[in-house]
Amino acid sequence: MSQAIIYVNKNDADSIPKQAININIEDELSKETLLTSIAKAGDFPAYFGHNWDALWDCLTDSRIKYLQLDLADIEKINTEDFNMFKSIVEDAYRDFGQPQLWVIG
């Protein structure tokens, strides 16, 4: 398991750092919902391009150390988009030591 991504269940959610930024996804996890939600939660700049490269840029230029994503109640997950998101988080973590993504499942 990567140090960049930590999976926990609802019962262990209290182990997530308190300063973790919650990526609020309502019903469907997709590229669009991920990028929109993380941009809002992370207070990304207005010039954020809502694409994967822009996400990497903003994550590595920010002070975000921890992200939290609750998948327990999400009805539909685009696995290709989710895997790309995780890959970007892992790359940023490998290069800069942050952020860590805490996934509740």
Provide the whole-model pTM: 0.93
Counting the structural domains of the chain, the total is 1
Residue 103: both structure tokens together: 């996934």
pLDDT tens, position by position, 2-52: 699 999 999 999 999 999 999 999 999 999 999 999 999 999 999 999 999
Q: Which domain holds residue 29?
A: 5-104
Query: How many other CB atoms sit within 10 Å of the CB of residue 59?
Result: 21
Average pLDDT of the segment spanning 59-81: 95
- pLDDT at residue 1 in the model: 47
Average pLDDT of the segment spanning 50-68: 96
Average pLDDT of the segment spanning 63-82: 96
CATH number, domain containing residue 58: 3.30.370
Q: What 3-state class would DSSP assign to 29?
A: strand
In 3D space, the residue among 55, 56, 53 whose CA is nearest the CA of residue 40 turns out to be 55
Percent of the chain having pLDDT more than 90?
Answer: 93
Report how far apart the first and last C-alpha atoms of the chain are (Å, whole number): 15
